[in-house]
Amino acid sequence: MRTSRGNVLISLSMWALCGLGVAGCADVVSSASEPASIEFRAFAAPAVVIGDSLRDVSGVAIPVFAIVRNQQGDVLENAVVRYTYADAGRDTALVVDSLRGFVFARQPLRATGTTARIAARVGSSLQVLRTVLVTIRPDSVDRVGVPAIDTLRVSAPDTGAVQATNTSLPLTVIVRHLDSTASTPVPSWLVTYELLYPANPTNDSTNVAFLVNQQQKLSNIDTTDFSGNAERFVRIRAGQFPTGAAADSAVVRVTVSYQGKPLKGSPIRIVLPVKKKQ
Protein backbone atom coordinates (compact mmCIF):
# COMPACT_ATOMS: atom_id res chain seq x y z
CA MET A 1 0.00 0.00 0.00
CA ARG A 2 1.33 3.43 -0.90
CA THR A 3 1.62 5.99 1.88
CA SER A 4 1.93 9.71 1.29
CA ARG A 5 4.92 11.58 2.65
CA GLY A 6 2.61 13.85 4.66
CA ASN A 7 1.02 10.93 6.52
CA VAL A 8 4.46 9.49 7.27
CA LEU A 9 5.55 12.81 8.77
CA ILE A 10 2.42 13.03 10.96
CA SER A 11 2.93 9.48 12.27
CA LEU A 12 6.60 10.12 12.97
CA SER A 13 5.76 13.37 14.76
CA MET A 14 3.29 11.58 17.09
CA TRP A 15 5.84 8.91 17.95
CA ALA A 16 8.44 11.60 18.56
CA LEU A 17 6.13 13.42 20.98
CA CYS A 18 5.46 10.21 22.90
CA GLY A 19 9.17 9.53 22.94
CA LEU A 20 9.70 12.87 24.65
CA GLY A 21 7.09 12.09 27.32
CA VAL A 22 6.23 8.41 27.52
CA ALA A 23 4.45 8.78 30.89
CA GLY A 24 2.20 11.48 29.50
CA CYS A 25 1.13 9.24 26.62
CA ALA A 26 0.37 6.41 29.06
CA ASP A 27 -1.83 8.76 31.13
CA VAL A 28 -3.88 9.70 28.09
CA VAL A 29 -4.53 6.05 27.32
CA SER A 30 -5.32 4.88 30.88
CA SER A 31 -7.12 7.90 32.41
CA ALA A 32 -10.53 6.84 31.10
CA SER A 33 -10.41 3.69 33.25
CA GLU A 34 -8.58 5.16 36.24
CA PRO A 35 -10.64 6.15 39.34
CA ALA A 36 -10.54 9.86 40.15
CA SER A 37 -13.41 10.23 42.64
CA ILE A 38 -15.76 8.17 44.78
CA GLU A 39 -19.11 9.08 46.33
CA PHE A 40 -21.84 7.28 48.26
CA ARG A 41 -25.31 6.93 46.84
CA ALA A 42 -27.95 7.92 49.41
CA PHE A 43 -28.50 5.18 51.98
CA ALA A 44 -31.81 3.30 51.91
CA ALA A 45 -32.68 4.59 55.40
CA PRO A 46 -31.10 6.85 58.03
CA ALA A 47 -30.89 4.04 60.60
CA VAL A 48 -30.39 0.31 60.97
CA VAL A 49 -32.19 -1.67 63.68
CA ILE A 50 -30.13 -3.62 66.21
CA GLY A 51 -30.27 -7.27 65.21
CA ASP A 52 -31.18 -6.52 61.59
CA SER A 53 -29.85 -5.28 58.26
CA LEU A 54 -30.20 -1.82 56.75
CA ARG A 55 -33.56 -1.78 54.93
CA ASP A 56 -35.55 0.59 52.77
CA VAL A 57 -39.05 1.80 53.65
CA SER A 58 -40.60 -1.25 51.94
CA GLY A 59 -38.59 -3.61 54.16
CA VAL A 60 -36.06 -4.85 51.61
CA ALA A 61 -32.44 -5.19 52.78
CA ILE A 62 -30.49 -2.76 50.59
CA PRO A 63 -26.67 -2.56 50.53
CA VAL A 64 -24.78 0.71 50.66
CA PHE A 65 -23.31 1.57 47.28
CA ALA A 66 -20.48 3.83 46.15
CA ILE A 67 -20.12 5.37 42.69
CA VAL A 68 -16.64 5.68 41.19
CA ARG A 69 -15.85 8.16 38.39
CA ASN A 70 -12.86 8.90 36.18
CA GLN A 71 -11.37 12.35 35.54
CA GLN A 72 -13.97 13.00 32.85
CA GLY A 73 -16.81 12.31 35.30
CA ASP A 74 -17.82 9.04 33.67
CA VAL A 75 -19.01 6.25 35.99
CA LEU A 76 -16.63 3.29 36.17
CA GLU A 77 -19.06 0.38 36.35
CA ASN A 78 -16.35 -2.24 36.92
CA ALA A 79 -14.43 -0.43 39.66
CA VAL A 80 -13.71 -2.71 42.64
CA VAL A 81 -15.00 -1.05 45.82
CA ARG A 82 -14.41 -2.32 49.36
CA TYR A 83 -16.74 -1.41 52.23
CA THR A 84 -15.77 -1.32 55.92
CA TYR A 85 -17.04 -0.18 59.32
CA ALA A 86 -14.90 2.90 59.90
CA ASP A 87 -15.51 3.00 63.67
CA ALA A 88 -14.39 -0.58 64.32
CA GLY A 89 -11.68 0.78 66.62
CA ARG A 90 -14.39 2.17 68.91
CA ASP A 91 -16.88 -0.70 68.97
CA THR A 92 -18.14 -3.72 67.04
CA ALA A 93 -21.71 -2.51 66.59
CA LEU A 94 -21.84 -3.00 62.83
CA VAL A 95 -20.85 -5.76 60.47
CA VAL A 96 -20.28 -4.61 56.88
CA ASP A 97 -20.06 -6.97 53.92
CA SER A 98 -16.85 -5.71 52.33
CA LEU A 99 -17.75 -6.84 48.81
CA ARG A 100 -21.52 -6.35 48.59
CA GLY A 101 -22.08 -3.48 51.04
CA PHE A 102 -24.79 -5.00 53.23
CA VAL A 103 -24.83 -3.50 56.75
CA PHE A 104 -25.91 -5.46 59.85
CA ALA A 105 -26.23 -4.01 63.38
CA ARG A 106 -25.38 -6.62 65.98
CA GLN A 107 -25.33 -4.43 69.10
CA PRO A 108 -25.77 -0.82 70.28
CA LEU A 109 -23.03 1.73 69.70
CA ARG A 110 -20.61 2.28 72.54
CA ALA A 111 -21.73 5.08 74.87
CA THR A 112 -19.22 7.52 73.36
CA GLY A 113 -20.70 7.15 69.88
CA THR A 114 -23.91 8.65 68.50
CA THR A 115 -23.37 7.74 64.85
CA ALA A 116 -21.57 5.01 62.96
CA ARG A 117 -19.47 5.60 59.85
CA ILE A 118 -19.33 3.40 56.79
CA ALA A 119 -16.28 3.70 54.52
CA ALA A 120 -16.05 2.90 50.83
CA ARG A 121 -12.59 2.63 49.28
CA VAL A 122 -11.29 2.12 45.76
CA GLY A 123 -7.59 1.59 45.17
CA SER A 124 -5.14 2.73 47.82
CA SER A 125 -6.01 6.41 48.14
CA LEU A 126 -9.67 7.14 47.31
CA GLN A 127 -12.12 6.80 50.21
CA VAL A 128 -15.46 8.28 51.23
CA LEU A 129 -17.28 8.17 54.60
CA ARG A 130 -21.00 8.38 55.38
CA THR A 131 -22.81 8.10 58.69
CA VAL A 132 -25.66 5.80 59.62
CA LEU A 133 -27.59 5.68 62.89
CA VAL A 134 -28.29 2.61 65.01
CA THR A 135 -31.73 2.36 66.57
CA ILE A 136 -34.06 -0.01 68.42
CA ARG A 137 -36.88 -2.00 66.83
CA PRO A 138 -40.03 0.04 66.12
CA ASP A 139 -43.22 -1.72 67.22
CA SER A 140 -46.05 0.80 67.38
CA VAL A 141 -47.14 4.32 66.46
CA ASP A 142 -49.73 6.50 68.19
CA ARG A 143 -50.74 10.03 69.14
CA VAL A 144 -50.98 9.44 72.90
CA GLY A 145 -50.19 12.64 74.78
CA VAL A 146 -50.24 14.74 71.61
CA PRO A 147 -52.44 17.90 71.69
CA ALA A 148 -55.82 17.57 69.99
CA ILE A 149 -56.15 18.87 66.43
CA ASP A 150 -57.46 22.43 66.33
CA THR A 151 -59.32 24.10 63.47
CA LEU A 152 -57.03 25.79 60.94
CA ARG A 153 -58.44 29.22 60.03
CA VAL A 154 -57.09 30.45 56.70
CA SER A 155 -57.24 33.75 54.86
CA ALA A 156 -56.47 35.13 51.40
CA PRO A 157 -54.43 36.38 49.63
CA ASP A 158 -52.16 33.40 50.12
CA THR A 159 -48.87 35.30 49.86
CA GLY A 160 -46.01 36.49 52.07
CA ALA A 161 -46.42 36.07 55.81
CA VAL A 162 -49.97 34.81 55.35
CA GLN A 163 -48.56 31.52 54.06
CA ALA A 164 -47.39 30.62 57.56
CA THR A 165 -50.82 31.37 59.05
CA ASN A 166 -52.37 29.13 56.40
CA THR A 167 -50.29 26.23 57.70
CA SER A 168 -51.54 23.84 60.38
CA LEU A 169 -49.98 23.10 63.72
CA PRO A 170 -47.75 20.00 63.66
CA LEU A 171 -49.45 16.68 62.98
CA THR A 172 -47.37 14.69 65.46
CA VAL A 173 -47.11 10.94 65.90
CA ILE A 174 -44.87 8.92 68.22
CA VAL A 175 -43.04 5.72 67.26
CA ARG A 176 -42.36 3.35 70.15
CA HIS A 177 -40.47 0.16 71.00
CA LEU A 178 -42.51 -2.21 73.16
CA ASP A 179 -41.25 -4.79 75.61
CA SER A 180 -42.85 -6.70 78.46
CA THR A 181 -42.63 -3.84 80.96
CA ALA A 182 -42.56 -0.51 79.16
CA SER A 183 -42.42 1.40 75.90
CA THR A 184 -39.39 3.34 74.66
CA PRO A 185 -39.31 6.08 72.00
CA VAL A 186 -37.66 5.01 68.74
CA PRO A 187 -35.38 7.64 67.17
CA SER A 188 -34.26 7.95 63.54
CA TRP A 189 -37.18 6.09 61.97
CA LEU A 190 -38.96 7.06 58.75
CA VAL A 191 -42.60 8.17 58.91
CA THR A 192 -44.67 8.84 55.77
CA TYR A 193 -47.55 11.33 55.51
CA GLU A 194 -50.11 11.46 52.70
CA LEU A 195 -52.97 13.85 51.99
CA LEU A 196 -56.07 11.79 51.31
CA TYR A 197 -58.33 14.83 51.02
CA PRO A 198 -57.93 17.07 49.14
CA ALA A 199 -56.21 14.15 47.39
CA ASN A 200 -52.51 14.79 46.76
CA PRO A 201 -50.70 11.42 46.59
CA THR A 202 -47.51 12.91 45.12
CA ASN A 203 -47.48 15.93 47.46
CA ASP A 204 -47.55 18.37 44.55
CA SER A 205 -47.03 21.95 45.77
CA THR A 206 -49.37 23.31 43.06
CA ASN A 207 -52.36 21.54 44.63
CA VAL A 208 -54.81 23.26 46.97
CA ALA A 209 -53.23 21.49 49.95
CA PHE A 210 -49.82 19.90 50.47
CA LEU A 211 -47.45 18.82 53.23
CA VAL A 212 -44.45 20.80 54.47
CA ASN A 213 -41.80 20.60 57.17
CA GLN A 214 -41.10 23.11 59.94
CA GLN A 215 -39.19 25.33 57.50
CA GLN A 216 -42.18 25.44 55.13
CA LYS A 217 -40.30 23.24 52.65
CA LEU A 218 -42.25 20.69 50.64
CA SER A 219 -41.93 17.35 52.46
CA ASN A 220 -44.10 14.35 53.24
CA ILE A 221 -41.53 12.13 55.01
CA ASP A 222 -40.04 12.77 58.44
CA THR A 223 -37.49 10.99 60.62
CA THR A 224 -38.32 10.57 64.30
CA ASP A 225 -36.31 12.59 66.82
CA PHE A 226 -34.86 11.29 70.09
CA SER A 227 -38.34 11.45 71.63
CA GLY A 228 -39.72 9.22 68.88
CA ASN A 229 -41.71 12.14 67.46
CA ALA A 230 -42.35 12.79 63.79
CA GLU A 231 -44.34 15.68 62.40
CA ARG A 232 -45.49 17.33 59.22
CA PHE A 233 -47.74 20.31 58.54
CA VAL A 234 -50.62 20.86 56.13
CA ARG A 235 -50.33 23.96 53.97
CA ILE A 236 -53.57 25.31 52.48
CA ARG A 237 -54.06 27.60 49.48
CA ALA A 238 -56.85 29.68 50.99
CA GLY A 239 -58.07 31.05 47.68
CA GLN A 240 -58.97 27.54 46.55
CA PHE A 241 -59.85 25.63 49.72
CA PRO A 242 -62.31 25.48 51.36
CA THR A 243 -64.65 26.42 48.52
CA GLY A 244 -67.16 29.14 49.33
CA ALA A 245 -67.76 30.15 52.93
CA ALA A 246 -68.33 26.64 54.23
CA ALA A 247 -65.87 24.81 56.43
CA ASP A 248 -64.15 21.66 55.24
CA SER A 249 -61.50 19.23 56.45
CA ALA A 250 -58.13 18.00 55.25
CA VAL A 251 -57.52 14.31 55.86
CA VAL A 252 -53.99 12.96 56.35
CA ARG A 253 -52.86 9.35 56.56
CA VAL A 254 -49.67 8.55 58.49
CA THR A 255 -47.96 5.21 57.89
CA VAL A 256 -44.99 3.59 59.61
CA SER A 257 -43.63 0.14 58.83
CA TYR A 258 -40.82 -2.24 59.71
CA GLN A 259 -39.61 -5.07 57.48
CA GLY A 260 -42.39 -4.17 55.07
CA LYS A 261 -45.19 -4.61 57.62
CA PRO A 262 -47.19 -1.79 59.25
CA LEU A 263 -46.52 -1.13 62.91
CA LYS A 264 -49.24 -1.59 65.49
CA GLY A 265 -51.47 1.48 65.18
CA SER A 266 -50.49 2.22 61.57
CA PRO A 267 -51.95 3.81 59.57
CA ILE A 268 -53.15 6.77 61.62
CA ARG A 269 -55.89 8.94 60.12
CA ILE A 270 -55.78 12.61 61.12
CA VAL A 271 -58.65 14.98 60.32
CA LEU A 272 -57.81 18.69 60.22
CA PRO A 273 -60.85 21.04 60.20
CA VAL A 274 -60.27 24.02 57.89
CA LYS A 275 -62.31 27.21 57.88
CA LYS A 276 -61.92 30.61 56.24
CA LYS A 277 -61.46 33.57 58.57
CA GLN A 278 -64.47 35.86 58.69
Q: Which residues of 179-196 are buried (b: 16+ CB within 10 A; e: fewer)?
A: eeeeeebbbbbbbbbbbe
Instruction: Please tell me whether the overall predicted TM-score, pTM, comes out greater than 0.75 for this model.
Output: yes
User: For the CA atoms of the chain, what is the radius of gyration?
Assistant: 27
Q: Would you kindly state where each structural domain of the chain is located, as residue ranges?
A: 34-135, 140-276
The answer to whether 34-135 and 140-276 have equal CATH topology is yes
Total number of residues shown for the chain? 278
Average pLDDT of 235-249? 88
pLDDT, position 180 = 84
140-276 maps to CATH 1.10.760: no
Reply yes or no on whether the pLDDT at 6 is more than 90: no
pLDDT, position 22 = 42
SS3 of residue 37 by DSSP? strand
pLDDT, position 21 = 44
34-135 maps to CATH 2.60.40.1080: yes
pLDDT, position 30 = 53
Which alpha helices (DSSP H) does 1-149 contain, by range?
A: 5-20, 22-30
| Among 172, 173, 99, 141, CA closest to 265 | 141
pLDDT, position 200 = 98
Q: What is the mean pLDDT of the chain?
A: 88
| Among 220, 231, 266, CA closest to 146 | 231
pLDDT in tens, 160-197: 776 788 999 999 999 999 998 899 999 999 999 999 99
Are 242 and 186 contacting, i.e. CB atoms less than 8 angstroms apart? no
pLDDT, position 64 = 98
